[in-house]
Amino acid sequence: MSAIKDISLAKSGWDKINWVKSYMPILNSINKRFSEEKPFAGKKISMSIHLEAKTAYLALTLAAGGAQVYVTGCNPLSTQDDVAAALVDAGFEVNAWRGVTDEEYEEHLKKTLSLCPDVMIDDGGDLTHLLHGECREYGKNLIGGAEETTTGIHRLLSREMAGKLDYTMVDVNDADCKHLFDNRYGTGQSTLDGIMNATNLIIAGKTVVIGGYGWCGKGMAMRAKGMGAVVVVTEIDPIKAIEAVMDGFTVMPMDEAAKIGDLFVTLTGCNDVIRDRHFAVMKDGALLANSGHFDVEINKKELEEMAVEVWERKPNIRGYKMADGRVLNLLADGRLVNLAAGNGHPAEIMDMSFGIQALCLEYLVKHAGELEHKVYQVPREIDEQVAAIKLASMGVTIDALTDEQIAYMNQVD
Ligand code: NAD
Ligand code: SAH
């Protein structure tokens, strides 16, 4: 039995799904093939991923391939209730609503796994974690799963290294058609979109401090610069720090950056990137946002303890008044600002990520019984298939090597 906020919101959810579908040529072509070939006939799929329109279209595509699909979110604030309603309207089992408590969130994950899936999609590793512990019996049919994001992959690799990975998993994040576009251009645009949506403030002229210069941080820095911000980067990796300097950004420790930033955005996957000693020296009115992982990158507990007053200023902005009168503003409860205060990555980006997801689940089903309990990279053919459809949809053609060129490139002497 589904548990969502309000089924009467379904019409608005369908409008959103139908809108994004028009801009998702990769999933459209996979949807058409799946409808004919039914690669998931008789198969059960559990999904935990941000429940918004693009995700709903992925679920519909898997169902078109013959699967029974149970869906939940992967973040307490990113579920869009109208989209959840549309999926229930389409006959899916959905357990999710925006603003779940920690207990409800976990309950929804467990209900989603109770399907005893053949394959699953995880985003951040929460389903995988339950399948290794409390919900082990729900993993009895699992051929394998596909993990969407960087932090989920870190967790899987730690498990694999420790000899504690009990399932086959595919690393969707490290496919080229995923992280090069989703983590970089997707996060760059949608993080600014979420921040602007919540604050209605200008980016131009602000000093924007970016914690982490990985794929997400690079995208964020590039787009903030493009909008006229003065960009400062903090890092712990010397090579990433050199990259940031050569890309034209100022690099310094957070202890220094804390004093000069107007807007802070963490994109590291690490905890306590911004904490008490940083809050102590920040400017009045500073804006704090996270677009990395969970609500641990900005230490909310220490912020709360330092505050003499805490209040909701407007949707997705909480004010924290310090004893000296300064007010610091936390966006989206320190959770992913692009999904909690916006619609996440754009349709054209999720089309690529979810094209990879759909093809990886098909790959797992096709190779059932052949795969070990380890983390597999996405097969190159899948990356290339997604790239080919994307390029064609953009109306871009490229050159092909001639036989002579291939011979020249491969010559030994
Ligand atoms: P990445 O590994 O490419 O980059 C992370 C960077 O952060 C690295 O360069 C690392 O050295 C740096 N770092 C780590 N700890 C730090 C610290 N304490 N201070 C400063 N820098 C630090 O990872 P990525 O692909 O850029 O992903 C970053 C995070 O964002 C992950 O948690 C990932 O799951 C998440 N993510 C979010 C979205 C989104 O929609 N908001 C999209 C993709 C990934
Ligand atoms: N559960 C964790 C996971 C981080 S989510 C958390 O909430 O903190 C990061 C992932 O969200 C990215 O890898 C990206 O692929 C995905 N994402 C970004 N925009 C999205 C969207 N519009 N719909 C679905 N997933 C999205």
| Ligand (nearest to CA of 180) | 1
- The verdict on the CB of residue 241 being under 6 Å from ligand 1 is no
What would the pLDDT profile of 201-227 be if each residue is shown by its tens digit?
Answer: 999 999 999 999 999 999 999 999 999
CATH number at 353 reads 3.40.50.1480
Rounded Cα gap, residues 413 and 411, in angstroms: 6
Q: How many Å lie between the centroid of ligand 2 and the Cα of residue 173?
A: 11
Whether residue 132 sits in one domain with residue 78: yes
Answer yes or no: do 130 and 195 share one domain. no
- Is the residue at 43 inside a domain? yes
Q: What is the pLDDT of residue 321?
A: 98
Atom number in ligand 2 closest to CA 54: 23
pLDDT of residue 52: 97
Nearest-angstrom CA–CA distance, 169 and 327: 44
Same domain, 60 and 116: yes
Cα(403) to centroid of ligand 2, in Å? 42
Gap from CA of 162 to ligand 1 centroid (Å) = 23
**Per-chain mean pLDDT for the chain:** 98
User: Average pLDDT in the 267-281 region?
Assistant: 98
Ligand that comes closest to the CA of residue 155: 1
> What is the DSSP pairing of strand 250-251 with strand 263-266?
unpaired
Q: Does residue 413 surpass a pLDDT of 90?
A: no
CA pair distance 319, 283, nearest whole angstrom: 13
Give a yes or no: residue 408 inside a domain.
no
Whether 210 and 322 map to the same domain: the answer is yes
* Structural domain includes residue 2: no
Domain membership of residue 57 (yes or no) is yes
Q: What percent of the chain has pLDDT over 70?
A: 100
Q: What pLDDT was estimated at residue 185?
A: 98
Tell me the CA distances in angstroms from 218 to 9, 154, 240, 245, 249, one per residue in order: 37, 19, 10, 12, 10
Section 241-256 average pLDDT: 98
pLDDT at 263 over 90: yes
CATH number of domain containing 258:
3.40.50.720
pLDDT digits over 179-190, tens only?
Answer: 999 999 999 999
CB of 283 closer than 8 Å to CB of 326: yes
**pTM (whole model) above 0.95:** yes
Q: Which region, left, alpha or beta, applies to residue 176 given φ > 0 means left and ψ of -120 to 50 means alpha?
A: alpha
The band of 44, judged by pLDDT with boundaries at 50, 70 and 90, is: very high
Alpha-carbon span 225 to 181, nearest angstrom = 18
Contacts of 345 (CB under 8 A, 6+ apart): 54, 182, 186, 187, 189, 190, 338, 353
Q: What is the pLDDT of residues 372-383, one digit of tens each?
A: 999 999 999 999
Ligand 1 contact, 210 CB (< 6 A): no
Whether residue 404 is contained in a domain is answered as no
25 plus 112 within the same structural domain: yes
Axis-axis angle for helices 347-366, 53-64 (nearest 10): 30
Please work out whether the CB of residue 266 comes within 6 Å of at least one atom of ligand 1. no
Distance 216 CA to ligand 1 centre (A): 6
Largest CA distance in the chain: 74
Write the DSSP assignment of 204-216 as a string of letters. TT-EEEEE--SHH
Can you give the three-state secondary structure of 276-301, one letter per residue?
A: HHHHCCCCCCCEEEECCCCCCCECHH
Taking the C-alpha atoms of residue 123 and residue 109, their distance in angstroms, rounded to an integer, is 12
**CB-side neighbour CA atoms (13 Å) of 254:** 21
379 DSSP 8-state letter: P
User: Does the structure show a pLDDT above 90 at 406?
Assistant: yes
Total domain count, the chain: 2
Report the pLDDT averaged over residues 11-22.
Answer: 98
Residue indicated by tokens 């997707």: 186
217 Cα nearest atom in ligand 1 = 26
Q: Whose CA is nearest to atom 36 of ligand 1?
A: 292
Same structural domain for residues 335 and 195?
Answer: yes
Can you give the pLDDT at residue 400? 97
Whether the per-residue pLDDT at 20 is higher than 90: the answer is yes
Q: Is residue 399 part of a domain?
A: no
1 lies in some domain? no
Q: Note down the domain range covering 366.
A: 7-178+345-393
Q: How far is the CA of 72 from the centre of ligand 2 (A)?
A: 13
Instruction: Phi first, then psi: give them for residue 147, nearest 5 degrees.
Output: -105, 135
360 CA distance to ligand 1 centroid (A)?
Answer: 24
Ligand 2 center from residue 62 Cα (angstroms):
19
Does ligand 2 lie within 6 Å of residue 293's CB atom? yes
Same domain, 169 and 114: yes
- Report the atom number in ligand 2 closest to the C-alpha of 126: 1
Pairing of strands 287-290, 207-211: unpaired
Alpha carbons 121 and 78: distance in angstroms, whole number: 16
